[in-house]
Structure 1
Amino acid sequence: MDHNISLITTIAAALGLGLLLGMLAVRLRLPALVGYLAAGVIIGPATPGFVADVALASQLAEIGVMLLMFGVGLHFSLDDLLEVKGIALPGAVLQIAVATLLGLGVAHWWGWSMGAGLVFGLALSVASTVVLLRALEDRGQLDSFNGRIAVGWLVVEDLVTVLVLVLLPALAGPLGGKTSGDPSASLWATLGWTLLQVGAFVAFMLVVGRKLFPWFLWRVAKTGSRELFTLAVIAAAVGIAFGSSHLFGVSFALGAFFAGMVLRESELSHRAAEETLPLRDAFSVLFFVSVGMLFDPRVLVEHPLQVLAVLAIILFGKSLAAFVLVLVLRYPLNTALTVSASLAQIGEFSFILAALGMSLGLLPELGQNLILAGAIVSIAVNPVMFKAIAPLERWVRARSAHARHMERSPDPLAELPATVTHERLTDQVVLVGYGRVGRRIAEELTRQGVHFVVAEQNREMVEDLRRRDQPAVAGNAAEPAVLIQAHIARAAMLVIATPDTFHVRAMIETAKVLNPGIKVLVRTHNEEEARLLREETGGTVLVGEHELARSMTRHVMEGLAHAAAAAH
């Protein structure tokens, strides 16, 4: 009996070869996804031997993008996006404009049409949220301030790209491509309709989805079936993505992202993330393999200079633009370098843009191959860019007086107002980080009448605190100047509530030098990190899980004591 098993064959080849080459990549100290991309090239139509079903692989990849963007939404709430809107919104829009102009410029130099150059430049301007999420998770920086800025920046990029994807068919005719839809419809009418659709979807998810989705999952969770819960989460993520695409005209990826974001408001979000992680990991492999299948390696040999030009724009052009923008907005050098490294790659939305550009007759096939070459190389190189942040930061500071001046130039938020009294700056608590944990500590200190100064990198938070007459200073507390401004020399305690433990040692070292008798309290989620910090700094280090267990045990014992007293 003859069966068509191309789906099974494609999945088996993609996962099997992806596993082997992923292990090889890790052995060579490269990210595993480089091996997945290489597996796609090997089973793709551009190389000899076995060829997997490209159409099936691309559909599996689409599911992978949905699940991965759902995972991004689970980690990033609307509040997080609003917290960094002051830097993410203007930064992303300006960086897209700069990168698009660079792509348009080289395309014009190569003799391409205006439409081809526009699609090409836009595809090079949009970094991959999937790749960034992996990079931040691997480094434990997803919940850090810099991580929130980077993800917020890329979410804005994704939203801009969604708008471009809907508008491009209407612009194809004037740009020299194929016309689609109603040729009599004006650009403004199309733009208005697009904004209305996206706005309606966002409103629906925030008003209805925020209530309906968590309620539905609670009903499933009450059945006590783990399979049904996992099925409900996956079905909701894929169903919302599919429904949003057909009803509101937004992309699958954006629909899945918002599904994750509204679920994040529920207490079941952690369980949903944990239950769906294996499936998300498996489909992410299929996503990267499918990208590799679209790539024709001959472009590296036949058009090496054009490939280098593409890489220059991705790795340096748009990253440099973002670097300058972040510094102009008065954020620290480390934040500027982290955002630059985050943007030094392109991914899923670039492939979607390229495919649409080709279908509309705007982008030549060479353009798609150059975009794929740039994606594969930039994704492979991206971990190196992240590793270069710390040494590059030291190198820039050591050699550039201008860089040091920019960070220390007159900045009203970098210095405490003169109106803060001497009493509030003596025996005070210096609280580093005003996120979810820091905010709760601050509320309790305020209730207890304890004076404290907040050191926070998010400038908008510092502005808000000062409006409420709370002493706060903007900057990275690893910089001695920030702790000096917080009057650490006269403080009774340093409380480090930020989840980013990368700079903790520098903060404690500065505090001990300026105030040898100061007490230090640090939070962490890593037991090994906690042990090392205790040994190296002598401070009190609290592990989140341990404190939760102690608190729960205390409540258990209190409950048992009350029950025993009631029985007697």
Structure 2
Amino acid sequence: MHHDTPLLTTLVLGLGLAYLFGMLAQRFKMPPLIGYLVAGICVGPFTPGPLANQELATELAEIGVILLMFGVGLHFSIKDLLSVKKIAIPGAIVQIAIATLMGMGLAHLMGWPWGQGFVFGLALSVASTVVLLKALQKHDVESTEQGRIAIGWLIVEDLVMVLALVLLPALAGLLGGIGSNSSVGIGELVVVTLAKVVAFVAFMLIIGRRVIPWILEKTVWTGSRELFRLGVLAIALGVAYGASHLFGVSFALGAFFAGMVLAESEFSHRAAEESLPLRDAFAVLFFVSVGMLFDPSIIIKHPYALVGTVVVIVIGKSLAAWGIVRAYGYSSSTASTIAASLAQIGEFSFILATLGMSLGLLNRDANALIIAGALISILLNPLLFSFLLHQLPQDGIKQESA
């Protein structure tokens, strides 16, 4: 007897094709992320062939976002950031501002409203954690000063994007999107939103940092690896859900702080290890769902806009980073490493674009350009990284003054 099983169909199509295209991408020395996005394009509504349930894929992607942000929190290191704070903090903020303005300029040429241009530019300004770390590891520079600066820079970018995810819903009306139905003004709404965030952060720092490690400690005493894995998953999802329903902040922020609090405990390494399979599986579904939103016709409809998007990501953003690092007195090789590391976009761009679409701040064309820009920049990044590292002289690196 045949049963209608849209959830099972979506999982089978999404994971099955993601595995197939991920293997092909790996075979051709490309990040598997490319394969996952292609899988989503294949089962999306804009291409012929099997069609997955987009609503279910979006729900599953929400879990993927929660677990991705939980993983970012688990690997968040204040020590790494503080060691390069003099260059990473101002450098990342200025680079985000420059890239956002370039994206807004491109959006203006296309006749888009300024609010949409702002979200579009913001999505182009942040590099992919996955791609950046793998590039540094591949060239064995993650433990060098260049690598520490790149990682610190990335941490600042991630923190700015977390803040953007929190504030965008409150600012949506001002930016021309779907605003709140409340009669409260924009300024008051932002203040209320920030107050909720502060309340949530205080709750996590005062109570969460004691309760979460205590729960995992009790779980460890049971000697059950299965229960420990389940406990980590329950904490990630539970804190994200509670943050949204009790404090009115995003799932993403809740999951990030759950990971960050857990990162301070003695169980952080084991929690990261045990949660990795589930994080990977749902992250794959997130990238598949992003691919489903991609309309390939954008290549024909707006070829110049696509070229402009890639130029902003690969050239504009990189030149900005290179110039900032050089302005701080670092060598050209250090500046080139940072520039190459940031010459792509990825998961945070997709999360921001998904939120922007739900708030009416991005249209399908803008989302398609972001996805296409990510695909092309991720493909070009290894070539650019190899060229800059092997063609430029590896001269000395200026040490920061005390």
Change (3 A) 1:181 1:224: same
Change (3 A) 1:133 1:237: farther
Taking structure 2 as the reference length, what is the TM-score of the superposition? 0.90
Partner in structure 2 of residue 365 of structure 1: 364
Q: Which amino acid aligns with 2:185?
A: A
CA distance in structure 2 between the aligned counterparts of 1:231 and 1:133, rounded to whole angstroms: 27
Alignment of 1:301-450 (within 5 A): 301-394=300-393
Give the drift of 1:169.
4.1
> Secondary structure of the residue that 2:392 maps to in structure 1?
helix
Alignment of 1:54-73 (within 5 A): 54-73=54-73
Deviations 1:505-548 (A, max 9, x none): xxxxxxxxxxxxxxxxxxxxxxxxxxxxxxxxxxxxxxxxxxxx
Identity of aligned residues (%): 59
Alignment of 1:150-169 (within 5 A): 150-169=150-169
Deviations 1:224-274 (A, max 9, x none): 011001111111122222222333343333322222222222222222222
Deviations 1:450-474 (A, max 9, x none): xxxxxxx5x3xx61xxxxxxxxxxx
Change (3 A) 1:198 1:387: farther
Structure having the higher strand fraction is 1
Give the drift of 1:332.
4.1
CA distance in structure 2 between the aligned counterparts of 1:134 and 1:68, rounded to whole angstroms: 16
Alignment of 1:455-474 (within 5 A): 457=399, 459=400, 463=402
Partner in structure 2 of residue 83 of structure 1: 83
Change (3 A) 1:56 1:137: farther
CA distance in structure 2 between the aligned counterparts of 1:217 and 1:354, rounded to whole angstroms: 35
Give the drift of 1:152.
3.1
Give the drift of 1:372.
1.6
Mapped contact 2:67–2:236 kept (Cα < 8 A): yes
More relative contact order, 1 or 2 (CA 8 Å, 6+ apart): 2
Change (3 A) 1:95 1:250: farther
Change (3 A) 1:389 1:253: farther
CA distance in structure 2 between the aligned counterparts of 1:335 and 1:317, rounded to whole angstroms: 18
Give the drift of 1:205.
2.6
Taking structure 1 as the reference length, what is the TM-score of the superposition? 0.65
Give the drift of 1:309.
0.2
Alignment of 1:78-117 (within 5 A): 78-117=78-117
> Secondary structure of the residue that 1:35 maps to in structure 2?
helix
CA distance in structure 2 between the aligned counterparts of 1:252 and 1:333, rounded to whole angstroms: 40
CA distance in structure 2 between the aligned counterparts of 1:315 and 1:343, rounded to whole angstroms: 8
CA distance in structure 1 between the aligned counterparts of 2:35 and 2:173, rounded to whole angstroms: 40
Partner in structure 2 of residue 26 of structure 1: 26
Partner in structure 1 of residue 189 of structure 2: 190
CA distance in structure 2 between the aligned counterparts of 1:68 and 1:75, rounded to whole angstroms: 11
Give the drift of 1:371.
1.4
Alignment of 1:249-288 (within 5 A): 249-288=248-287
Q: Which amino acid aligns with 2:156?
A: V
CA distance in structure 1 between the aligned counterparts of 2:237 and 2:145, rounded to whole angstroms: 30
Structure having the higher helix fraction is 2
Change (3 A) 1:200 1:79: farther
CA distance in structure 1 between the aligned counterparts of 2:171 and 2:270, rounded to whole angstroms: 44
Change (3 A) 1:172 1:77: closer
Cα-Cα RMSD: 2.5
Alignment of 1:112-127 (within 5 A): 112-127=112-127
Give the drift of 1:299.
0.8
Mapped contact 1:170–1:181 kept (Cα < 8 A): no
Mapped contact 1:135–1:383 kept (Cα < 8 A): yes
Give the drift of 1:183.
4.1
Mapped contact 1:127–1:343 kept (Cα < 8 A): yes
Count of residues in correspondence between the two structures: 402
User: What runs of 5+ residues in structure 2 fail to find an aligned partner?
Assistant: none
Give the drift of 1:135.
4.1
Mapped contact 2:38–2:291 kept (Cα < 8 A): yes
Q: Which amino acid aligns with 2:56?
A: L
Mapped contact 1:128–1:345 kept (Cα < 8 A): yes
Partner in structure 1 of residue 38 of structure 2: 38
Partner in structure 2 of residue 218 of structure 1: 217
Give the drift of 1:95.
1.1
Mapped contact 2:31–2:131 kept (Cα < 8 A): no
CA distance in structure 2 between the aligned counterparts of 1:241 and 1:6, rounded to whole angstroms: 26
> Secondary structure of the residue that 1:3 maps to in structure 2?
coil
Q: Which amino acid aligns with 2:20?
A: L
Change (3 A) 1:338 1:213: farther
> Secondary structure of the residue that 1:388 maps to in structure 2?
helix
Q: Which amino acid aligns with 1:194?
A: T
Q: Which amino acid aligns with 1:279?
A: L
Mapped contact 1:77–1:265 kept (Cα < 8 A): no
User: What runs of 5+ residues in structure 1 fail to find an aligned partner?
Assistant: 398-403, 409-413, 415-456, 464-568
Mapped contact 1:78–1:261 kept (Cα < 8 A): no
CA distance in structure 2 between the aligned counterparts of 1:245 and 1:333, rounded to whole angstroms: 45
Give the drift of 1:293.
1.4
Change (3 A) 1:358 1:284: closer
The ranges of structure 1 where at least 4 consecutive aligned residues each deviate by more than 6 angstroms after the TM superposition are: none
CA distance in structure 2 between the aligned counterparts of 1:173 and 1:225, rounded to whole angstroms: 49
